[in-house]
Amino acid sequence: MLSVEVGRASCGVQLLSSRVADFSRTRVPDGIELKPQSTVAEQKDQILGKQISGTQEGLWSINNQNYLLPDLLQQSQISDSSVNPPKVPLTSQEPQNKPLRVNLLVGTENGLWLLDRSGQGRVYSLITRRRFQQMDVLEGLNVLITISGKKNKLRVYYLSWLRNKILRNDPEVEKRQGWVSVGDLEGCVHYKVVKYERIKFLVIALKNSVEVYAWAPKPYHKFMAFKSFTSLHHKPLSVDLTVENGQRLKVVYGSIVGFHAIDVDSGSVYDLYLPTHIQGTIRPHAIIILPNTSGMELLLTYEDEGIYIDIYGHFTKETVLQWGEMPASVAYLQSNQVMGWGEKAIELRSVETGNLEGVFMHKKAQKLKFLCERNDKLSVSPAEPPPLTVVAVERYLAEAPPPPAAAPQYCYDVTLADGACHLRCYLPPRLNGLVQRAQLRPGARLRLRRCSYLYDEKRLRYGFLCLEELEPAGGGGGTDAPSTPRRHRPPPLRGEKKHYLPLWNNEDPYGDMWVADKPQAQVDVDVSKLTSLGQLEMTWRSRVHFHPLLVRVLHKSRLRYYGKPEKKTDMPYQAYFEVADGSGMMSMVLWNSLCPEWYNSIKVGTVLLLEHYAIKTSYPFKTQPTPGDSQMKRFPTIEISLNVRDPPTKISIIPEEMVKPEWGLPEVKYRFITRSELDDLPNNHSCDIIGLVTFVGRAERARKKEHGEDFWLYRWAHAIDGTSDQPFILELFATSQPDVFEHIHPMTYLVCTQMRVVRDVTENPSSTVYLTTSNESQIFITGWHKGQPYTKDTKVKNFIQWTKTQREADQMKKTVIGGYYPFPRPPNNFLKYCKKNKVESVLKAIGEMGKEIQDLHYREHKRIAVQGIISAIRYISCTSAAGEASGVELIQKDTSQSLESSATSKEDSVHKGKNTNLQNKEVKSVLGPHCPPGEHQAVLSKKSSVKRKIPRRLNTDAQHLDEFRHEDFVQDKNGQAVSDSLQYSTDLEGMSDIPETADTGRIRDSWQSDLWAQVKDKLMNYLHHSTIFPESIPRKFDYVHKDLLMQQYNLHAAVHQPKETGTDKNINEFKSASGLGYYEVTVLGINHDVAIDVAFLPLFCPEDPHLFQLEDIQNDTLLSCMSCISSCQQKATSNERLCDMFPLSNEIVKAAMDLDGKHVVCILDICHLGDDKVEVFLSKIYKTVEPGVEPVESGAI
């Protein structure tokens, strides 16, 4: 049996079997006021509910007593030496050690507990070995009243005594007896606390009697007997008290035969209503004293019906409230409605008429129990919640709260499916962290422990389900979840927003409101009625209405979302275009609801006929693209404004075949460069590139503003074009092309326009240069090139000619996808690292790392600098790493990305076939040998090893590279096709020698300083963040499983995407591209009181030595040694030579000893990978004494 106490009294007791405690929110000021319109719970503050799974024997039961215990512990702190908390459900993290303002009292079969709601759900034992059935907190009296014990006695506990059992700070209180019994009452069934004027009455139902007690204030300070009604003919099961016309007290109680009343003054007992039409016993549900009736009229509910009578038993209405099915419990709501909770449906009916006003069906029978109503929220708990699949998690802009309250900027709706139907539910803001850390994601399985029904006060008869308490369920994403979202999705559940946003950024279009392609217009263009951009620039101030414009789009920006909670714009979007005619180029702005209608259809090169537009002064701070034609005139002072009103713009797309040369529209020109030309270009130079992708990093996010909720979405990529042995290094931010951005993979042809050169002119001239996207960048991959204007460019044609000379097998060896990518490397000097920030704000204390990690969002990447002392280094082979990673995979097994892992190593074979080049029509794919980390050994055993021949077969199935077959580049003037297809082939040897060792034991080596040996057992805080996760390791690309690999390294989709059918590969089964192991580095705080373990992952790919820029860390002796040793080991292993050096070579130990005891600054790369997985990598080590640097306080930076 379980009771839950959250502050003040509630009405009615109903028991519900459950394995967990369900908490909800209800408030009645010390009970129900015996005044008109005050017969139900008065509601107030919202309290969070938490699941508690105790270790006590037997199952817990729960009734609908859920209350707020206010300021029980005042502002005191709870020490860490208290009771260990039981397992808590999936819930959002909250800061620890905050003042305790809201707490939960939990009554169980075996005792009374306090749940500290200000921390992480820590539970404190207050009373043991006592069963609690019902309880209420009476705030004004500072007491807790309970039905408890084996004999169901009525006992009152003093809150000051319970408080002292936790704090132990008042010896005088500890000496006193903390409770007092109410009379000698035993066998209590139910009680009700009722306030009449200034008197608090306690009405108690016993086995065959009803007792009425009244609270006696000081000096007695206890409940004293007032009235007693014994020898009742029918055993009372529930009890209540009403006041007839504010004068006469009457007790109303229900029994197995009906409902009865007792006149308190005279003691007379009479029957109110006996349902004689029902054979046998009945089950009374609720006694509802109707509002605005002076306590005279009642609604009595029992079995599957309810009747309206007055206090004398006369029917007041001929209406009979009839439930559709037998309810488990009935509850009255302040909205003047009554709810019945059945196994198949929840019915909402009008109290006045009994008419059905709402019903919530569930296909599977469920035992639900009403918990309470608070404010406009109604709570319910399923007794045995079934597993559900998360179908979709969708984000939208929140409503602005009234000042001065602060609220999250975004809200989330979650769609759940049980195999038969799906339902959208609202996620309360306190649980937003579950989405932000990807714990609640599409495809996940969970159990709904508690939900509530939330009314929208601004809409008539509108409400929705609110998720209150969730628990992870075993198993991966179920097949019962719909694979595609519903078309024409309705607007968000809460507020007045009309659309959803993409889940992880604001720049991408999301939802079916974004039109894919508008039909092209078949219009006759009357050139005589047109105006030009040049004429507009001269005459716009003197005109109100403008002639039509005929322009070509030369540049297109990413979307800009400018929505704010306090703004009321329905579609707060904006997009810039640069358009041109024969007179010059001007900016064109697409506003608000025109963006979803036209943004995807207006492409670079599109010809537009614009009518009914506006001309406005140009925004002076917007970015400007670099035109391909440097001679083109620009009109920078004004811009064309397209909106749905003021005036309503008319847009027509002219098909390219209808464009006439006499219109004088300029062609789209580009500024393509080759990789060999890049090194000579200055910083911020604008250019376009084309290349064959050899590496694609995982999608990551960077926060736009500190502590904000908006993020940039980006990923890194490498592309080659044959003009240099160095690749293009590309920083690709989302360009409002999600279908392209999410499908970038190795072996695709990538075109990026309007890229900007990034080089640090103050750094070493040999430092690596890279390209980053600008606001006007566009990216295209294989499958998107057809019809693009750049296909006519000379350098694009040259690139296509180069691809004809290449073999697929040679390029496939170089391809890598995903993993940790430490670029750009920190500068060589810490002062340069800090040049844009003060040292005090850049440096973080090691003790603050916990909070930094806790505040990370999913795939958020951060770079942090900490001071410390390198104190220990440990080499961990990939055998060990695989073991640790596999443990992590178990956490992810219920996601759509996770696949069943194999317990044994698999030997993947490849098919044998002849060599072909890139232009052969017989497309062939390569399946390289997949070598999971667990199959590597850092050092081979001294025991004998043998070699065996493993046949390799070449897969001739051409379907995997189908997308290259249909890629059409336009023909040149001579009619010669630039490219008819992009096809690939393979070239592999038929046999390969693989060493097989007899002993595959794990090899490790380590070093630690003398200082570490002295202080490691005396640390106040020791953080362990050296785990390498499967998502951290770059993998060799496998084209056959490209969809699985892209899904793994993209962000979780907003809508559930079922995994590939027939795919049973685990991410660990794909060969690592990063080496044989990694290093665990221990950094000791400079005050010797805290330490942190971080990882250093040596990245080296022998097939592509330019993939990871090792030269960028050559001035960092320790990290350089660890990288070089690891690369040498990998080369030795790849060449099948025995590795005769230990992981920690003499060079590494010497470099570590040179730093022994010295203060250094460590640059750490941290990234949240979802769930509780956070990677922390060591990226750079700076000595705090560098040549030519002035001292700072006690040291120098």
Co-location of 251 and 176 in the same domain: no
**Res 75: pLDDT:** 27
Q: What is the DSSP letter of 743?
A: T
Count of structural domains, the chain = 6
- For residue range 278-333, list pLDDT tens digits in order: 888 998 988 888 888 888 899 999 999 999 999 989 999 888 899 888 888 888 88
- For residue range 506-524, list pLDDT tens digits in order: 999 998 899 988 887 778 8
Co-location of 702 and 609 in the same domain: no
**Res 17: pLDDT:** 27
Within-domain flag for 295? yes
Co-location of 25 and 47 in the same domain: yes
Co-location of 650 and 536 in the same domain: yes
Among 31-45, 196-210, 834-848, 866-880, where is mean pLDDT lowest? 31-45
Averaged pLDDT for residues 450-465: 82
Using the 3D structure, point to which of 293, 315, 337 is the last residue of a domain. 315
Average of per-residue pLDDT values in the chain: 75
Averaged pLDDT for residues 163-182: 82
**Res 685: pLDDT:** 94
Closest by Cα among 16, 178, 7, 26 to 105:
7
Within-domain flag for 1056? no
The DSSP H or E segment spanning 1046 is: helix 1042-1049
**Side-by-side strand order, sheet with 269-273:** 238-244, 248-254, 259-263, 269-273
Using the 3D structure, point to which of 290, 315, 340 is the last residue of a domain. 315
Closest by Cα among 1073, 1146, 1107, 1058 to 481:
1058
Within-domain flag for 713? yes
Amino acid at 76: S
Using the 3D structure, point to which of 255, 282, 315 is the last residue of a domain. 315
Among 468-477, 704-713, 1164-1173, where is mean pLDDT lowest? 468-477
**Res 231: pLDDT:** 84
Distance CA 503, CA 510 (A): 9
For residue 25, give both structure tokens: 């929110």
Co-location of 652 and 733 in the same domain: no
**Res 1177: pLDDT:** 94
Co-location of 720 and 845 in the same domain: no
Distance CA 317, CA 731 (A): 74
Q: What is the DSSP letter of 99?
A: -
Distance CA 208, CA 807 (A): 93
Co-location of 89 and 138 in the same domain: yes
Co-location of 652 and 686 in the same domain: no
Q: What is the CATH number of the domain that holds 630?
A: 2.40.50.140
Within-domain flag for 938? no
Co-location of 592 and 649 in the same domain: yes
**Res 1094: pLDDT:** 95
**Res 1: pLDDT:** 37
Averaged pLDDT for residues 1075-1085: 87
Give 542: exposed, middle or buried? Use CB within 10 Å, 0-12, 13-18, 19+: exposed
**SS3 label, residue 320:** strand
Co-location of 614 and 727 in the same domain: no
Distance CA 726, CA 713 (A): 26
Within 804-871, residue ranges assigned H as helices are: 808-812, 830-833, 839-842, 849-854
pLDDT band at 254 (very low <50, low <70, confident <90, very high): very high
Cis upstream peptide for 824 (omega within 30°):
yes
**Res 936: pLDDT:** 36
Within-domain flag for 380? no
Co-location of 195 and 182 in the same domain: no
Co-location of 107 and 178 in the same domain: yes
Within-domain flag for 613? yes
- For residue range 323-380, list pLDDT tens digits in order: 888 888 888 887 788 888 887 888 888 888 888 888 877 655 666 555 555 555 566 6
Sign of the CA dihedral with 653 first, then 655, 656, and 660 last: negative
Residue 583 has pLDDT above 80, yes or no: yes
- For residue range 106-129, list pLDDT tens digits in order: 888 888 888 765 555 577 888 988
Domain assignment of residue 27, given as a range: 1-186
Give 1002: exposed, middle or buried? Use CB within 10 Å, 0-12, 13-18, 19+: middle
**Res 892: pLDDT:** 31
- For residue range 229-253, list pLDDT tens digits in order: 988 889 999 999 988 887 888 999 9
Residue 42 has pLDDT above 70, yes or no: no
- What is this structure's pTM? 0.68
3-state helix, strand, coil in the chain (%, to 5): 15, 35, 50
CB atoms within 10 A of CB 648: 12
Within-domain flag for 980? no
Within-domain flag for 100? yes
For residue 791, give both structure tokens: 């296909």
**Cβ-contact 622, 652 below 8 angstroms:** no
